[in-house]
Amino acid sequence: MKTKNYILGIVIAVILLSPISCKNFLEMPAQTGFNKDLVFSNYRDTEIYLYSLYQSVPKIMYGWANNIMLFGPSRVSLTDEAISGSYSGFTTNSLYAGAVTSSWFTTKNGEDVYNTHWKSIRNNFIMIENIDKVPDASAEVKGRIKGECQILIAVEYFEMWKRYGGVPIIKGSMTPADYEIIKRQPLDAVYKYIIELCDAVIANPNIPVKVTNPLEFGRATKALAYGLKARTMLYAASPLFNAATPYIDFGQNNNLICFTNYDKNRWKLAMDAALQAIQFCESNGYSIVTSYGINKNYAIACQKRPKDGNTEIIWGTMYNSSLEGANGGPEYMWGMRGRQGGAGANTPTQNAVEMYHNADGSSVNWDVKITTPPNQPEFPYKNLEPRFQQSIGYNGCLWYTNPNFYPQFYNGGEAGVANGLEGMKATPVVGNYSMRKYFMDYEKSKSGMWPMNPIMRLAEMYFIYAEASNEFQGPTAQAFDLLDVIRTRSGMPKVDRSLNQAALRAFIVNELFVEFYAEDHRYYDMRRWKIPGVKTIYNVNVLKYLNNTYTYEKYVSQTRVWNDFWFMHPFPLAEITKNYGLIQNPGW
């Protein structure tokens, strides 16, 4: 496929899907807007439809007014990783204040769009049920497409399952007459269905182990099926679901939001699945990125495509300006405020900075005021590990060279000292940091920047094994060894082998934050661990003085609301009132 046809296909796909908006989320597409006979009459049109199926896959970075997520900010700003500004359009602020309803969690400009999952599932089943009609596609191509649709259905179910618990299960395209049988199914039934779909893809001989054609980057592979199986089993083993009683008693419906028993063996299943994923991936050309030096390995692994040296990415998608908005895209919402032309909608917090350690393993004491030597604004941060340097911008860091540019996140501390150009008083926002992750090679100019969404990396499988292994049997040499691979590739010391189970658990929680910072893990990691959302968000006040010293002083920037019934999402009220068996989650 030529690049021109690839882009054209994506654009046409959106046109094809636009009229398929239905009053009921399982309704078949209207024939006036979707002609199955035409779509499946030749492979070219079928391929256009195939690429349209990828438009609803998970994304991390969104642009301004994307009509999908939070009106600019991303989930990173729903956690202690980042904070959004006070602009009234940022719907993250509703969550901070606790002013959210079921519609906030499930509709446009909220955390999720519930109906989109069902539309995607329905459209994938349409492909599965009709692909054999295509006259000019080989049996191998048809088999591959069926497998792709199965894993995309599994992804949609996983995304619903982790948010809502048990949901209706469908195994084919639906008609309105089928609605009355669609009841909410137990958590365990949905879990088994996801695993069943993953296993079917793993057994499919036509699914490639990895994508080798750069034009096909983002298509599903057998490695994704292994990875999703391990991720699903990790969630199943975690405290939110792996419990005799749920986070809130739901009476006879407890089985919709937990397994209703604790089974230690669920941790072993997750551990084994992660090891299988690692072995499969590493025997088929995937590997942890280690060839670019400690100051670049991490950025390559998180931000670059395979053609640019990323051997670690299992599944990623590229931001497409033609589909997601050429103006005010992710580079604007994630970019540095002020003279860099960014909105700072996902501004890193002091909480995030404190999760990082110095390269020797020690920590910066942020609980006392820090005074720097003269002309060393970077002093508190200069020894922090390479993953920090590649993820968060700070006062005095070298942002780019030729000419050198150093952000000025400070205010004048006394008369005669002007505020820095990114200072709080000069450009009022809520933080004195900037997101650096995803901006490698685009620090000076964001022209042509299409950020990659790293949905799944091989490093995640290492962490799933380490966490599940520790919960099942305590610390082991293999778990330590896998964690060491991740740390040493970024210049960090190996893990202390004397850690006991509880200490290693705490270490893994912190290390997950650092390794997957701003990669859409934290929000749901905290829920599966059944840890309440972080209420206290910190910033740092930076002042400059006439003698060219700086002071850094931590303070409370924001106090957020948290309610325990937020551990699971509500269903849309509009769906509940249809009375087809969708039972609302407790507390909503």
Instruction: Indicate the pLDDT class of residue 69, thresholds 50, 70 and 90.
Output: confident
Omega before 208 cis (within 30°)? no
Nearest to 134 by CA among 52, 41, 44: 41
pLDDT one-digit tens code per residue, 439-477: 999 888 877 777 789 999 999 999 999 999 999 999 999
pLDDT one-digit tens code per residue, 214-223: 999 999 999 9
Distances 172 to 129, 151, 158, 195 between C-alpha atoms, Å: 8, 14, 17, 17
- Residue 4, pLDDT > 50, answer no
* The predicted structure's pLDDT at residue 35: 84
> What is the percent of the chain where pLDDT is above 90?
75
Please spell the DSSP secondary structure of 306-353, one letter per residue: GGGT---EEEEEE--HHHH-SSS-HHHHSSPBGGG-B--TTEEPHHHH
pLDDT one-digit tens code per residue, 309-343: 999 999 998 765 554 555 557 788 888 877 777 88
Instruction: Indicate the pLDDT class of residue 22, thresholds 50, 70 and 90.
Output: very low
Mean pLDDT, rounded, for 481-492: 98
* The predicted structure's pLDDT at residue 436: 94
Pairwise CA distance, residues 279 & 311, whole Å: 15
Residue with tokens 């590493």: 282
* The predicted structure's pLDDT at residue 54: 92
Q: Which two tokens stand for residue 68?
A: 């999908």
Q: How many CB atoms neighbour CB 364 within 10 A? A: 17
Torsion from C-alpha of 34, 35, 38, 41, nearest 10 degrees: 90
Q: What angle do CA 525, 531, 536 make, to 5 degrees?
A: 105
* The predicted structure's pLDDT at residue 27: 38
Residue with tokens 């199926």: 53
Nearest to 413 by CA among 239, 274, 552: 552
pLDDT one-digit tens code per residue, 340-363: 778 888 999 999 999 999 999 999
pTM confidence score: 0.93
- Residue 20, pLDDT > 60, answer no
pLDDT one-digit tens code per residue, 186-201: 999 999 999 999 999 9
pLDDT one-digit tens code per residue, 509-553: 999 999 999 999 999 999 999 999 999 999 999 999 999 999 999
Q: Which two tokens stand for residue 475?
A: 């610390």
Nearest to 258 by CA among 164, 383, 375, 373: 164
* The predicted structure's pLDDT at residue 321: 56
Mean pLDDT, rounded, for 45-63: 89
* The predicted structure's pLDDT at residue 356: 98
Task: Tell how strand 347-348 and strand 392-393 pair up.
Answer: unpaired
- Residue 146, pLDDT > 70, answer yes
Contacting residues for 174 by C-beta, under 8 A, at least 6 apart: 26, 27, 28, 122, 182
